[in-house]
């Protein structure tokens, strides 16, 4: 795991890389800062909302 911070960047980036006998897979999510709080992103708020919805769901997506 690598964690880095760059205050000059206008958002956040989450990158998942996996490698094995199957080959290599990469996934990148580029998040924009939340309008009311630049220290977090809309992705964080939506993840929390989904977690709350999943808590009472029969089928979790």
State yes or no: is 14 an active-site residue. Answer: yes
Question: Residue 36 phi/psi, 5° resolution?
Answer: -85, -10
30: left (phi over 0), alpha (psi -120 to 50) or beta: beta
Q: 37 and 12 in contact (C-beta within 8 Å)? A: no
Q: Which of 9, 11, 13, 14 is catalytic?
A: 14
Active site residues: 14
């Amino acid at each position: 795991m690598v964690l880095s911070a760059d205050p000059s960047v206008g958002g956040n980036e989450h990158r998942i890389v996996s490698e094995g006998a199957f080959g290599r897979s990469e996934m990148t999510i580029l998040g924009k800062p939340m309008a009311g709080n630049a220290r977090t992103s809309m992705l964080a708020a939506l993840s929390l909302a989904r977690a709350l919805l999943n808590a009472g769901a029969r089928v979790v997506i």
